[in-house]
Structure 1
């Protein structure tokens, strides 16, 4: 047991597709839901929330309460099935046909990277940029820059990162292409419910991120963006082209 689980949200009305069973729509010859489940095949537990049809062996299914209560209610239903030893959970939409195991691994690695190590990486990137800039500065200015850097302390360590999620080219967080620390996700659900009179029915996913330390990840691998979701028929056609 690694303590790693995956919860896949397969609900939603798919109104822009005429109400079809969107997760069952094939891309590259396989239902989108099955492609997402394949990307997390190494998880200790895989849970699908929503109408799912047939699923691979070992995958558990459940429904949100109330049915049609939205993605946050579905997240809570999925977490209710997790084993006590679970520590991290991939939270994924079922309409991500381009998601890969490598993309999920990158999120898990980003979540597990210690804050100090991450800061060193960022500091190295900043130093590289500053070195290039110094080459274009007069000598006196370069010496002043060095003195300023020597007098500057490292920034204080921030709060523990609660989740890692992809961001698209416009900087938008892909909240259902993410990996959470389970205690942080449970706490976020409790906080959000408390602001809504104890219910998660109809709550927005972005509400879970209030006050939460997020590590944003830009896709650095080859191939199409793993966070690409299919909301329309045109999206499905694009995903088909990418998957060839």
Structure 2
């Protein structure tokens, strides 16, 4: 569907791994962070959010505010670096060592406008589940608080998806392994900033995506699931086995 940008979130305390720089851990002889960046090598630009000693050529680095403020604050920092002309962004955790260009291509395909009212193979659209974190409701358009996310219409006039992400075998959304319309994410960031009194620190991803139309994509390709993330030492060992 044309060009896209990528924002890779490399923050987080990795408390279950002793506070290590988790994205820097090697899998198959290469850091998880660099493996994710390689999966989106055709993205322009590629933005890494978080501390990093060295990154591949052409990758821009920014720190979320405050440092360690969580994935939503990191996403906002990455989005702020995107040119206004960029319309689609891959929003990815940096600990997805099994992510591939093919998986990203599958997500991008599901974000294209629908040509009929039939459901595309392997995906379905649904609004984000309601946030249980205590956030205020989305302000209505014209309230003066924040604009509603822009709608994207397919050829049948129905609102198209604001984003597409993988779902695992239990139907859980892997929101940080997805692609999103930049305008919808920016509107969501603005809305959530207002709801939280100006700070995104500690905000959950589900609160950011609340109200967006999300295309849920089941992985049907070969190999391990591209959304597999590494939260423990055992996860890293499993990823090593798959990466051989």
Match of 1:144 in 2: none
**Measured at CA, do residues 79 and 118 of structure 1 come closer, stay the same or move farther in structure 2, by a change above 3 Å?**
farther
Contact 2:89–2:180 at 8 Å: present in 1 too? yes
Does 1:15 find its partner at 2:1? Answer: no
Match of 1:39 in 2: 39
CA distance in 2, matches of 1:240, 1:21: 17
Gaps of 5+ in 2: 123-155
1:53 positional shift: 1.9
Q: TM-score, normalised by structure 1?
A: 0.82
**Measured at CA, do residues 23 and 88 of structure 1 come closer, stay the same or move farther in structure 2, by a change above 3 Å?**
same
Does 1:59 find its partner at 2:37? Answer: no
Match of 2:151 in 1: none
Instruction: Report Cα offsets for 1:138-177 as digits up to 9, x if no partner.
Output: xxxxxxxxxxxxxxxxxx8642210000000100000100
Instruction: Report Cα offsets for 1:94-136 as digits up to 9, x if no partner.
Output: 00000000000000000114162644769xxxxxxxxxxxxxx
Q: How does 1:30-109 map to 2 (within 5 A)?
A: 30-109=30-109
Gaps of 5+ in 1: 123-155
Which structure has the larger Rg?
1
Q: Secondary structure at the match of 1:116?
A: coil
Q: TM-score, normalised by structure 2?
A: 0.82
Moved over 4 A (4+): none
**Measured at CA, do residues 63 and 120 of structure 1 come closer, stay the same or move farther in structure 2, by a change above 3 Å?**
closer
CA distance in 1, matches of 2:118, 2:13: 40
**Measured at CA, do residues 121 and 226 of structure 1 come closer, stay the same or move farther in structure 2, by a change above 3 Å?**
closer
CA distance in 1, matches of 2:184, 2:115: 16
**Measured at CA, do residues 190 and 115 of structure 1 come closer, stay the same or move farther in structure 2, by a change above 3 Å?**
farther
Q: Secondary structure at the match of 1:67?
A: coil
Instruction: Report Cα offsets for 1:160-214 as digits up to 9, x if no partner.
Output: 2100000001000001000000000101111111211122111000112211101
Contact 1:230–1:236 at 8 Å: present in 2 too? yes
Does 1:190 find its partner at 2:202? Answer: no
Q: How does 1:220-231 map to 2 (within 5 A)?
A: 220-231=220-231
Counting matched residue pairs gives: 210
Does 1:160 find its partner at 2:160? Answer: yes
Q: Whose helix fraction is larger, Structure 1's or Structure 2's?
A: 1
**Measured at CA, do residues 197 and 224 of structure 1 come closer, stay the same or move farther in structure 2, by a change above 3 Å?**
same
